[in-house]
Structure 1
Amino acid sequence: MTARAPLERTRGFDVWGFLLFSHGWTWLWWSVPIIADWHVFEFPGIVFLIGGGLGVTIGGVVMAWWIGGQTGLADLKRRLVDVRLIPGRWAVVTLALWPALALVGSVAATVVDGASQPASAAPLLDLLAEPVVLVGTLLVIFLLGPFHEEIGWRGYWLDRLQLRWSALTSSLVLGVAWAAWHAPLFLMVGYFSSWDFSPDPALFAFNILVGTILYTWLFNNTARSLLAAIAFHFVGNATGQLLDLSPQADFYQTVATTALVVIVLLWWGPATLRRDEERPLAPY
């Protein structure tokens, strides 16, 4: 199948069609356990939790096919499996940036506020004593966010946004949509209480908005690698769930992340967030 005619694109269907599908599907499914007051990690609530989360995945795949046909699907697959798209220095950024920012936040809490224990690796250490549980936990972290979300956000949607707007504007649009997509989780019985943290909704949304700029920065410097985005997302989520930060350290981590974003924007430029002048365009 060849790419679709440009009629849908001129009407913005390639952008807003995905948004309507991803949020509509997810919020419809997630509304059921919220209304029924079901625990989302127990049956039947977990069925709706998982089913709803697939909205952004299905939306990314369906829209890649609808707009790009077989070319769109092939491009999605290539960026998912091709490790060669990620230069060595960007592999380091992918795997080390989030832990490094957590460390900076912890050190700042110690130096500025005199915190005696700004961070604890107890969750990780407990899991290391039970390798099977550790693997299971990492698998859950991987599946409940990084893999299925990135197929939509960076696998499909970011490309379409950057065809219209600058990298910074695209990041902000995606960040707002991404934060809003998560909003029902705060209304679900047992979702955040089942983990070792319960984020403040406003800080959670701000961190997503700021972090989205870093995702775009990584995306545009790894030849649009979906694999890099998934790994970046996974490391970020794993760091947050396996390392307990004090409220002060968490605050300073947010400050450090925001400062890094400012540096990135000043160095790379808000229009591109990349070294070269070519914008990353989808091949369809």
Structure 2
Amino acid sequence: MIGIATFFLIAFGIPWAGWLLVRDENMSLWLFPLFASIAGFSAAYAEGGKEGLKVFSRRVFAIAPSVPYVLAGVALPLLLGLSYLLTKGVPLFSMPWSPAAVLALSLGAALVTGPIAEEFGWRGYLQHRLLNRFAPFWTALIVGAIWWVWHFALYRASVFASPVSAFNFFAYLVTWSLFMVFLVESGGGSVWPAVALHWAANTHPSVLQSLQPYVDGGILPGGSKGSLFYLGAACAFAAINHRFFFAKRASGSVSHATADNSFKPKPLRGSA
């Protein structure tokens, strides 16, 4: 349990202390979220020392097997957003492709403040650890719920100010958690697909606004808007891929870094 204890102590302890005690917007967005990813590396070191950290790093930083899923992660939020606009009767054939849209696609700051700062912890360590005990669907729900609670200290006066907005935010995070568990595991455990999806999820409202400059901003999805539509799409995706999401890995088929120094993905029971 030393790895899990180390992870939660760092991932929650330092950000929550900062968000509750320090009133500095730059530190809240740029510094404190970083400890979610630091927690993942620290937990791997606590469990396996230098060798455990080395194996963890090889898995989460792997690029080659994850490239298709990185591209899917970038495209997925935008496709969901465009689908949501279609349900609202917004015509998509007249979308302008302008420099503003290109600029919106290159929001570099959004890549650092959330995706890189967090995903090596949530999907790199915690998700991988929970998959040893739970099927991917339940793992995604658990990680999504923990991810939601983690945001409380930061958004306690806004998102968590009402039960409705808090629930919509929960649905929004669970949506991405469901897609991330599929993309990360399909990419061999590399975290880059989750980083790409997290970045695209954070920026796609701005991209859609650039692509649809004449649409009322109140219609554009993002945050709580469209969250139930997004969650419905994620649940439909899970139902279509039910063999992946609901088949628990065979007991002992996946070992952590400290056991066999291997993070190669193992087949799910009943899958090819």
- Provide TM-score, normalisation by structure 2: 0.74
Report Cα offsets for 1:253-273 as digits up to 9, x if no partner. 443233223323x24241359
Cα shift readout 1:44-96 (whole Å, capped 9, x = no counterpart): 442244332122122112111111222222233323443212264x3442232
Superposed counterparts of 1:1-284, under 5 Å: 12-33=1-22, 38=23, 44-86=24-66, 88=68, 90-110=69-89, 116=90, 125=98, 127-128=100-101, 135=106, 138-187=107-156, 200-244=165-209, 246=219, 250=226, 251-264=228-241, 266-272=242-248, 281-284=255-258
Distance 1:97 1:58, change over 3 A: same
Once the two structures are superposed, what CA deviation does each residue of 1:139-185 show, in whole Å capped at 9, x if it has no partner?
Answer: 21011100010111112111211223222222222111101111223
Q: CA distance change for structure 1 residues 47 and 157 in 2, over 3 Å: closer, same or farther? A: same
Asked if structure 2 preserves the Cα contact closer than 8 Å seen for 1:14 and 1:67, the reply is: yes
State the AA in 1 paired with 2:54.
A
Shift of 1:219: 1.4
Structure 2 gaps, min length 5: 210-216, 259-272
Rounded Cα–Cα distance in structure 2 between residues aligned with 1:45 and 1:173: 29
**Structure 1 match to 2:264:** none
Q: Is the 8 A contact 1:121 1:242 kept in 2?
A: no
In structure 2, the residue corresponding to 1:224 is in which secondary structure?
Answer: coil
The answer to whether the 8 Å contact 1:64/1:156 transfers is yes
Q: Is the 8 A contact 2:105 2:203 kept in 1?
A: no
CA distance in 2, matches of 1:281, 1:235: 31
The Cα shift of 1:101 comes to 1.3
User: Is the alpha carbon distance of 1:102 and 1:238 closer, same or farther for their aligned partners in structure 2, counting shifts above 3 Å?
Assistant: same
In structure 2, do the counterparts of structure 1 residues 121 and 143 end up closer, same or farther at CA, with 3 Å as the change threshold? farther
CA 62–145 in structure 1, closer or farther in 2 if over 3 Å, else same: same
Q: Residues 206, 19 of structure 1: CA spacing in aligned structure 2 closer, same or farther, 3 A cutoff?
A: same
**What are the ranges of 5 or more consecutive residues in structure 1 without an aligned counterpart?**
1-11, 39-43, 111-115, 192-198
CA contact (8 A) 1:15 1:161 kept: no
Taking the aligned partners of 1:217 and 1:13, their CA distance within structure 2 comes to 27
Deviations 1:182-241 (A, max 9, x none): 12232468x9xxxxxxx9332111111232121111111111011222122212222134
**Share of identical aligned residues, percent?**
22
CA separation in 2, counterparts of 1:231 and 1:60?
18
Aligned mates of 1:95, 1:143 — CA distance in 2: 15
Answer yes or no: is the 8 Å Cα contact 1:56–1:151 preserved in 2.
yes
Please state how far the C-alpha of 1:247 moved relative to its aligned partner.
6.1
Map Cα deviations across residues 91-148 of structure 1 (whole Å, 9 max, x no partner): 44223222111121111222xxxxx479x989x957458x5x975xx12101110001
TM-score (norm 1): 0.71
Q: Give the letter aligned to residue 50 of structure 1.
A: W
Return the alpha-carbon distance in structure 2 between the equivalents of residues 230 and 278 of structure 1: 28
